[in-house]
Amino acid sequence: MKPRNVFISFLGTSPYGGSRYIGEKPQVDRATRFVQVATLASVAEQFGKDDQVYIFTTKESLKNWDDQPIKGDPESVDVKLKSEILELNIGCNIENVMVPDGKTQNEVWDIFSIIFEKLEVQDNLYFDITHGFRSLPLLALPLINYAKLLKNITVSGIFYGAYDRNKWKSSVWNLTDFSKLQDWTNNANIFLRTGNAKGLAEQIEGDAYAEIKEGLERFSEFTLVNRGMDIYSGQEIMKLSKDLEQAKESEDPAEKAVLPILNKVKDRFKDYQEDTAINGFYAVRWCINNGLIQQAATLLEEFIVTYLMDLIGNEKKTSSVTRAVILSFAKQGPAKYKLGTRAGYPLEKEKKVCDELSKITELSSIGAVAKVISDKVRNDVNHAGFRKKPGPKSYTEIRSIIIEQFNNLCDVLAIRGHQIEKLSL
């Protein structure tokens, strides 16, 4: 079923004077006493028999809805808003809805609820906020965001008629971009707090930021599903950082307001380099900061192994047997590790790997971090807490352990000049 187009506006109590209302995107140009007629006429081609116009009135403003007799001339009629809308002949449903005066906080909440209840799931909304109460602009955007979340509405137009009593022409402002900016802000905040860039990427339209859109989606995938080789490579993340760095300011005010949001996002990628396990630790920090504890635990253990492979010059990063040997050797140390326990793995090759690992002076410190992550975090989260002894840990316990071990690792990495910012509990 096709979503409804819905036009919403308030009607005030003033004896409205006529004006020629003019605006762009969509084109508005109509002489009328009621700005709602001008804005509705500009989008009328979108409306059909299943669509809806709601005009909200109080008892006092109802006089501007229905035609009234002209004083002193009972046979003549002062044409009001209802008749002017009907003259547009747009063929949709038109309804006057009564609301309180909005003189108290409770009445404002009542108005909020009445409007919200009139909206249906997936409505396409056009909102003329010109008339009504002084609280209406403050009410409009929270109401729109509330309906976006709970009823999945789309906002196609927010209009304000700047009536000028000293001139015949009055401007109609299209304020829809402010709603879009709020979406940008919300989705950027979600990305910065959770690592999920899906909503932010969906905000990006057109060719100007197309590569940024793709880069954000890819980075989100890398961290949410632990794509270690892509994180290690760093190439796509570095390209995203460069694309964000080169994002140009637009002359369009709405697009100009988006650039600071992209600049804030940009800071999250500045440390990544090409082909290094250190990228994995930046990703771990990102995951912990965004509550992705399971991803952080997996990445931390796997990138400890990858980092040790870098140190001994082993380029076969995907060799599962070699990775298992390195992890075991790091956790157990040279004194406890037993050679020849890996079926099918050449003893000579295993011995060479272990000999190279033994030369790393900070191996025991790195291995201690790996052991705690393996024993106290990764096994717990990867088995969803289904462990009898020891029992499952709480989120707070797991988070505290992984932050402590991450910070310990940062101290060890600093020995070789890798300055990675620590995390606070």
Same domain, 166 and 42: yes
262 and 306 together in one domain:
no
Using CB atoms within 10 A of its CB, is residue 318 exposed (0-12), middle (13-18) or buried (19+)?
A: exposed
Question: Cα–Cα distances in Å, from 418 out to 227, 230, 277, 330, 391?
Answer: 22, 20, 11, 20, 36
The structure tokens listed for 363 are 């191996």
On whether residue 74 sits in a domain, the answer given is yes
At residue 331, φ and ψ (nearest 5 deg) are -75, -40
Angle at alpha carbon of residue 58, lines to 53 and 59, rounded to 5°: 125
Number of structural domains, the chain?
Answer: 3
Say if residue 98 is in the same domain as residue 245.
Answer: no
- 128 and 111 housed in the same domain: yes
Together in a domain, 15 and 119: yes
Spell out the per-residue pLDDT of the chain, length 425, in tens: 789 999 999 998 888 888 999 998 889 999 999 999 999 999 999 999 999 999 999 999 999 999 888 887 777 888 999 999 999 999 999 999 999 988 888 998 999 999 999 999 999 999 999 886 666 667 888 899 999 999 999 999 999 999 887 788 999 999 998 888 888 888 888 888 887 888 888 887 767 788 888 998 888 888 888 899 999 999 999 999 999 888 877 777 777 777 888 888 888 888 999 999 999 999 999 999 888 899 999 999 999 999 999 999 998 899 999 999 999 999 999 999 999 888 789 999 999 999 999 999 999 999 999 999 999 998 888 888 888 877 888 999 999 999 999 999 999 999 999 999 999 87
Q: Which domain does 303 fall in, by range?
A: 289-425
In which residue are the tokens 């709405």 written?
A: 254
If asked whether residues 32 and 146 sit together in one domain, one would say yes
Backbone phi, then psi, for 4, in 5-degree steps?
Answer: -75, 145
Q: Check if the beta carbon of residue 135 is closer than 8 Å to that of residue 102.
A: yes
- Give yes or no for a contact between 150 and 31, defined as CB atoms under 8 angstroms apart: no
Same-domain pairing of 123 and 225: no
d(CA 374, CA 391): 15
Phi, psi of 333 (to 5 degrees): 85, 160
CA torsion 50→150→55→26, rounded to 10°?
-70
Has this prediction a pTM greater than 0.85?
no
